[in-house]
Chain A
Amino acid sequence: MDKMKLKLLYSDLKSDLDIIEKELAAAVNSSSHLLNEASLHLLLAGGKRIRPVFVLLSARFGTYSMETIKNVAVPVELIHMASLVHDDVIDDADTRRGRKTVKAQVNNRVAMHTGDFLFARAIEYITGLKNTYAHQVLSHTMVELCIGEIIQIEDKHELDQTVRDYLRRIKRKTAILISASCELGAIASGADAKTVKHLKRFGYYIGMSFQIIDDILDIVSTDEQLGKPSGSDLLQGNITLPVLYVKDYPTIAPLLKEMLEGNISEEHKNKLLIEIRNSDGIKKAKQISNLYLQKALNEVKQLPPNSAKKSLQNIALFMSKRKF
Chain B
Amino acid sequence: MNETFITQQVEQYKKNISMQSHNKTLLRYTGLPVVKEERLFFTLLPLLNGEDWNESMYVSSIAVSLIFSSLAAHDLVKEDNATSKEQQLQVLAGDYYSGRYYQVLANAGEIELIQQLSTGVATISELKTRFYDDEEYTFDELIQSIQIIESKPIEQFFEYYGFHEYVFLMKEALLLAALKKEYNKFELNEPAFYINKSIIFQTNMTDFKVELDNMEQAFIHDVSSSKLLIAPIKMAILERMKIHSLQK
Contact = CB atoms under 8 A, between A and B. Distances in A.
B121 A127 contact: no
Contact of B132 (A109, A145, A147): A109
Contacts of B121: 116-117, 119-120, 123
A96 to B, nearest CB: 16
A196 B88 CA distance: 35
A198 interface: no
Nearest to B133: A34
Interface string B66-106: 00001100110111111101001101101110111011011
B141 to A, nearest CB: 12
A130 B115 CA distance: 11
B94 A112 contact: yes
Contacts of A30: 122, 126
B125 A123 contact: no
B23 interface: yes
Contacts of B85: 153
Contacts of A34: 129, 132-133
Contacts of A117: 121-122, 125-126
A143 B100 CA distance: 6
B245 interface: no
A106 interface: yes
B162 to A, nearest CB: 20
A86 B95 contact: yes
Interface in A126-162: 127, 130, 132, 135-136, 138-140, 142-143, 145-147, 149-151, 153-154
Q: Which of A92, A135, A136, A138 has the most CB of B within 10 A?
A: A135
Interface string B98-120: 11101101110101101100110
B88 A32 contact: no
B82 A119 contact: no
A135 B114 CA distance: 10
A154 B92 CA distance: 12
Contacts, number: 149
B128 interface: yes
B92 to A, nearest CB: 5
Interface residues of A, number: 45
B130 interface: yes
A305 to B, nearest CB: 34
A142 B132 contact: no
A311 interface: no
Contact of B118 (A86, A109, A123): A123
B92 A113 contact: no
B26 interface: yes
Contacts of A139: 99, 102-103, 105-107
Given A136-B106, A146-B92, A150-B96, A107 B80 contact: yes
B25 interface: yes
Nearest to B98: A119
> Size band of the B side of the interface?
35 or more
A19 B54 CA distance: 42
Interface in A218-235: none
B198 to A, nearest CB: 15
A64 to B, nearest CB: 23
A157 to B, nearest CB: 10
Given A109-B132, A127-B118, A140 B103 contact: yes
Given A92-B82, A146-B95, A123 B129 contact: no
B109 A146 contact: no
B129 A124 contact: no
Given A33-B133, A130-B111, A112 B74 contact: yes
Interface string A59-103: 000000000000000000000000100100110100000000000
Interface in B11-61: 23, 25-26
B102 A123 contact: yes
Interface in A22-46: 30-35
B102 A108 contact: no
A105 to B, nearest CB: 11
Contact of A32 (B81, B102, B119, B133): B133
A110 interface: yes
Contacts of B96: 143, 146-147, 150
A147 B23 contact: yes
Contacts of B82: 89-90, 92, 108
User: Across chains A and B, which 9 residue pairs bring their CB atoms closest together, nearest first?
Assistant: A127-B115, A135-B106, A139-B103, A142-B99, A117-B125, A120-B121, A120-B122, A123-B118, A124-B118
Interface of A: 30-35, 83, 86, 89-90, 92, 106-110, 112-117, 119-121, 123-124, 127, 130, 132, 135-136, 138-140, 142-143, 145-147, 149-151, 153-154
17 contacts: A113-B128, A116-B71, A116-B74, A116-B94, A116-B98, A119-B95, A120-B118, A124-B119, A127-B114, A135-B111, A136-B103, A138-B106, A139-B106, A139-B107, A140-B103, A147-B96, A153-B25
Given A109-B75, A109-B78, A123-B114, 18 more contacts: A89-B82, A90-B88, A92-B82, A108-B78, A110-B132, A114-B129, A115-B95, A117-B125, A123-B118, A124-B122, A135-B102, A135-B105, A136-B107, A143-B99, A143-B100, A145-B99, A146-B96, A150-B26
